[in-house]
Structure 1
Amino acid sequence: MQPYMQCPAHLSQESELRVRYNDATRGVYFIGTTPPKTSTALADVAGIADKLVERIQDLAFDGLIVYDIQDEGSRTSKPRPFPFKTTHDPRYYSSLLNQKTGRPVITYKSVVQSDVGEFDHWLCEAWEQYNVRDIVLVGSPSTQNQISLPLNQAYQALLDNTHPFFTGGIMIAERHAKKGNEHERLIDKYQKGCNFFISQAIYDTQATIDILTRYALECQSQGIKPQRIILTFSPCGSAKTLEFIEWLGVSVPEATSLRILNAENPLHESIRMCCASLNQILEAVIEYDLPLGLNIESLTNRREEIEGSILLYKLLRSTMDMYLAQHEFRKLQGVDKVF
């Protein structure tokens, strides 16, 4: 049981991100993290949050993302590289980080095991007790699972809730590569209330370019304003981490995997490849005027990879800021290329 955290009266009753997302000419930048494991004493959770805040305090970031970690063993027959352990309530950790940074925090919520009544209660507590304003709903990792609350019903329950959450969804490039309809899913989720989308960790550059291009063109065709797409990148410093990335369902091309694993410094090679990947993505889709953002995460608690994620954030943010500024300048001048 997490402690009750009443939202102070002076805090905003609206999402700060909702306003920031309206400016398609600028990027929006996040740090992704997970709540501490439930094996961590509650009294120590605030200290862990303090360490994270200390690491990122010098970064210019718009907010944080707190994941709702679920056991995804039903999605694959492969053994999980790292054992699954439950975590403290994401709402509680989000509230701590919001208080300590003064920045918005997007909170993930897995809805699989809820019913409508339980989910509505969860939402009211999230808003009133934990100051959660920004939320991403996550459905079942496998169609084989028994699902109490399908994702479509969860979106409707969110719309019916009395609180005006700013809602996002998941974009999975790998799913588009297999089924070719992820762009339709994004538009359907938008019609159900989603105003931004967060990708899985990106290692398959072309798969990401494909879904972004298809989504942008479909929005143009239907006369729909494209919603913000937040691109997630995560460094990889070991074979074990790479195995975990692939276990999570992230597509890693063989050549990419071999280059990382055979590099003198795998972590630095993965960072270099993430930078190259973002450059390729932006070069391919920047002319479509998709509102974009970045989310940088570390998938393990290894100090080397956490520090690598901070460096990766700095590099990728500077890259996206430059691309967006150059694109805005070209539009202002009415020319195709000036750099």
Structure 2
Amino acid sequence: MDLRARLADRREPVFLYGTTPPRSGATAAQVNEAAEKLAARVRPLALDGLVVYDIQDESGRTSQPRPFPFIGTVDPRRYAALLRERTGLTPITYKALGGMAEAPWQAWLVESAQADLRVVSVVGRPTSGVRYPLALARAVRLAAEHPARFTVGGVAIAERHTEERSEAARLLAKAVEGCAYFISQTVYHAAPTQRLLREYLRDCRGAGIAPRRIVLTFAPCGREKTLAFLRWLGVNIAPETERELLGAAIGVNVESVSINRDEIDASIDLCHALREVMSAR
């Protein structure tokens, strides 16, 4: 079963591995070497696909100083294509909209279709209250209705599911706009994620809508600076974390948020461990 079908099939679990592309300015040889190394690491894993992130400077989201300086990356589509070539796995390619207007977005979709990168996660902007030339809802709808038949995904952030602002309602609205799946922010505190899943399922039943796949993301962290960066991103990290997978249609995405080898290797170990947990459900 290919990744697109698997994401839509509630009976099947989904296992993904997420990574960021090499830094902007990397030579072609360096990008190829990074792809080869990652392919060798993930080859023994029973994965259904890969996730290639598109990072953006989120300094406007908070007044707190960024623990690490922002450094851009090579085009995620370029890296996704290299990884697909070396692993045979379908990549989910993230796209952060930033200040993109509709015409460049349409061009981006055409280019992605030509590269046969048709599973796309669309990411909005980190700063709210700003008027952008292309609304996230419009971007999702354009991708979902494109002749290339993209499978379009979105982001689920349990930490912003509150009494004042329902993330469950946002997921419902995004599904109507065309999102076929959602990938969560990194989970370190089970309770907010449990609540979001529970209330999303409740709202779906109330609306008579089939729940979309929600892929839960996990990442190892072995350094204080990495932990500080995750907190800066808004990840809720409890003193003791639990990982309880509810009865929703879910999947697992293990990501590496670090360039340090020990933390990358730990992400591979985590992938093995979580597959065992999911297999025992």
- TM-score bracket, normalised by the shorter chain, equals over 0.9
Aligned to 1:314: 272
TM-aligned CA deviation for residue 17 of structure 1 = 2.1
TM-aligned CA deviation for residue 21 of structure 1 = 2.5
Q: Distance in 2 between matches of 1:241 and 1:98?
A: 28
TM-aligned CA deviation for residue 159 of structure 1 = 3.4
Q: Percent sequence identity over matched residues? A: 41
- Alignment partner of 2:211 out of 213, 226, 244: 226
Aligned to 1:192: 177
TM-aligned CA deviation for residue 178 of structure 1 = 6.1
Q: Distance in 2 between matches of 1:134 and 1:200?
A: 18
Q: Distance in 1 between matches of 2:10 and 2:143?
A: 25
Aligned to 1:137: 122
Q: Distance in 1 between matches of 2:25 and 2:144?
A: 35
Q: Distance in 2 between matches of 1:243 and 1:147?
A: 30
Alignment of 1:10-25 (within 5 A): 16-25=2-11
Question: For the aligned residues, what is the CA RMSD?
Answer: 1.5
Alignment of 1:1-339 (within 5 A): 16-128=2-114, 130-145=115-130, 147-177=132-162, 179-253=164-238, 255-256=239-240, 273=241, 277-278=242-243, 281-282=244-245, 285-286=246-247, 290-323=248-281
Deviations 1:232-277 (A, max 9, x none): 0111101111100001111123x34xxxxxxxxxxxxxxxx4xxx2
Higher deviation after alignment, 214-223 or 232-241: 214-223
Q: Distance in 2 between matches of 1:179 and 1:234?
A: 29
Distance of aligned partners of 1:178 and 1:110 in 2 relative to their CA distance in 1, 3 Å threshold = farther
Q: Which amino acid aligns with 2:109?
A: L
Q: Distance in 2 between matches of 1:176 and 1:29?
A: 25
Confirm or deny: 8 A CA contact 2:144 2:151 kept in the other structure: no
Q: Distance in 2 between matches of 1:178 and 1:47?
A: 47
Deviations 1:15-43 (A, max 9, x none): 93221224322210000000100131123
**Which structure 1 residue ranges, 5 or more long, are not aligned?**
1-14, 257-272, 324-339
**Which structure 2 residue ranges, 5 or more long, are not aligned?**
none
TM-aligned CA deviation for residue 180 of structure 1 = 4.4
Q: Distance in 2 between matches of 1:188 and 1:88?
A: 32
Secondary structure of 1:179's match?
coil
TM-score when normalising by structure 1:
0.80
Confirm or deny: 8 A CA contact 1:26 1:321 kept in the other structure: no
